[in-house]
Amino acid sequence: MIKLRDLVLTAALAGCGLSSLNAAPLDLASKPEKRKAGQSLIAGQVAGRLPATAPLPPPRPHQETAPSSVPPSAETPGPVLPGNAARGGASPAVPLANIPAPPRRPPQIGLPPAQPAPTDTPASADAPSPALPPAVEQPAVTDLAKACDGVAQMIVKPAVRVPVAGACAVERPVQLEAILIGENRRVTLSPPAVLACATAAAIAAWVRDDIVPIADATGSPLTAIAVADSYNCRPRNRQAGAKPSAHGNGLAFDLGPMTLANKRSLTIRGDGLTVNARQLLKASACNRFGTVLGPGSDGYHEDHLHVDLIPRRPGRGICQWTLPGGDKK
């Protein structure tokens, strides 16, 4: 019995124009040997009738006109993988899946951040280092007094152990030792007065311009002034609970007895000074300072003259010193 496969093959040969097969059909079902011989004969006839090389189909019209977006492989060769020189035929292609991946980089834990590489070449050891700008010279402690106004007319030193912060702070504290009068004369302060710089300058100007002419008019040059008080961190009039004194900030000066070259002493109570001289002294003090307290003012300034630089409104200054034949104002 002829199998269906043999019938299909016979029909295919007939379509190819193999008339000899139709003329002499084979008994493909008789014996296996005859079936194999018939299949070989059919295959030979097919091979003899088919062309050796089949022509390629013509290209599609759009492929002929469309420009290629991919450059030829000869101009831009792709990467050559290891063992895949292949396309030249030297070695078989190696699948990408068989290429081992590189080992994973260990995590950077606990390492310091990478420092950027220096961009400049390090200077040679023999090359001179660039010149630095000169340092600003800081004033020494001994130069503090030179910052005071009128220092050319004073002999001053920086005051030591005087606070510059807090309730009893003194701004630029100095120790006023003498006032220069002209080129070859000085009036010494005994003991030296510890004052704020501004107060020292004001006292020096008062002594030089007003007190010296008044004292010299008595017949002998003024040589020394006793300092009743200067810097002193205390309440007013040394009374507990009172407001802080101007002495506590180096703003006050207490004028004591004045000594002349002939050893005579002049006091604000009238020893050696006429009433007219004391009136001139009072006027000069009240003109220069915001507070003036002398004999008859409050009972605490009977033997000296207190002057200070506490700021006061114009016309509100205190000028109290009782003189014979007049009142304390």
Per-residue pLDDT 10s for the chain (329 aa) are 455 556 655 555 555 554 444 444 444 444 556 566 555 555 555 455 545 555 666 666 554 444 444 444 444 444 444 444 444 444 455 555 566 666 676 655 544 555 555 555 444 444 444 443 343 333 344 455 456 766 778 999 989 899 988 899 999 999 999 999 988 999 999 999 999 999 999 999 999 999 999 999 999 999 999 999 999 999 998 898 889 999 999 999 999 999 999 999 999 988 899 999 999 999 999 999 999 999 999 989 999 999 999 988 888 899 999 998 655 55
Quote the tokens at residue 239.
């009374």
Q: In the chain, what are the domain boundaries?
A: 4-46, 142-287
Measuring CA to CA, which residue among 189, 164, 168 is closest to residue 253?
A: 189
Dump the DSSP string for 173-235.
Answer: EEEEEEEEETTTEEEEEEEEEEEEHHHHHHHHHHIIIIIHHHHHTTTS-EEEEEEEE-----B
DSSP state at residue 319: E
Q: How far, in Å, CA of 284 to CA of 50, rounded?
A: 144
Confidence (pLDDT) at 314: 84
- The pLDDT, as a whole number, for residue 114 is 54
Q: What pLDDT score does 171 carry? A: 92
What is the pLDDT at residue 230?
97
Q: How far from 102 is each of 99, 105, 109, 149, 258, CA to CA, in Å?
A: 9, 9, 21, 82, 102
Sequence-ordered alpha helix ranges (H) in the chain: 4-15, 19-23, 32-49, 61-65, 197-206, 212-216, 275-288
Please report how the helices 197-206 and 275-288 are oriented relative to each other, as an axis angle in degrees rounded to 10: 150
Q: What angle do CA 176, 182, 184 make, to 5 degrees?
A: 90
Torsion over CA of 181, 184, 187 and 190, rounded to 10 degrees? 150
User: Whole-angstrom Cα distance, residue 213 to residue 210?
Assistant: 6
Angle at 121 between CA 118 and CA 125, to 5 degrees: 120
Q: What is the pLDDT of residue 193?
A: 97
Cα separations (Å) of 325 from 138, 281, 285?
A: 56, 16, 19
Q: 81-108: per-residue pLDDT in tens?
A: 444 444 444 445 555 556 666 667 665 5
Instruction: State the DSSP code for 302.
Output: S
Amino acid symbol at 263: K
